[in-house]
Amino acid sequence: MQICMEDKDGIVVCRLRSDVDINSSPDVRNYFERLTRDKKEKILIDFKDVDYVDSSGLATFVEIFKNMRTYGGKLKLMNLSNKVRGLFEITKLDKLFEIAAQEADALSSF
C-alpha cells in the first residue's frame, strides 16, 4: 500500500494508491495511527486510485474515524468510485462519513 500525504492549509490530504483489503488494511491502520497519535485535526482521504474496499478496509476507516472523534478531529473522504461509494451506501457508512465528490468541495467544507 502506498499513501502519499500533503498538507493543504492545515488539512492533511492522504492519497491512497491501492485497494484496501485484508492484505493492505494493516498498513493503512498503522499509517493513520501515527496521524491520530499526533492528533491531526483535519484529515481528507482521497480514494481516486482505489477500486476495491473489503470489510476489513471498512473496519479500518471506522476505527480511524472513532480515534479522531476522541480528540475532536474531522475525517472526510473524497473521489470514491461508484463501486466503492455503493459499498459505503449499502453498509450505511455514508451516513457516518462526510463524502465529497471533488477535492475543492472537501477542502472548503472543513
The mean pLDDT value for 54-60 works out to 97
Contacts of 7 (CB under 8 A, 6+ apart): 13
What CATH number is given to the structural domain containing 63? 3.30.750.24
pLDDT in tens, 7-17: 999 999 999 99
* C-alpha closest to that of 65 among 53, 56, 73, 55: 73
What's the total number of domains in the chain?
A: 1
- Give the global pTM: 0.95
The SS3 call for residue 21 is coil
Contact 14, 45 (CB under 8 A): yes
Q: Does residue 90 carry a pLDDT above 90?
A: yes
Domain carrying residue 85: 3-108
What does the block give as the cell for 96?
A: 457516518
Phi, psi of 80 (to 5 degrees): -75, 135
pLDDT for 1 equals 85
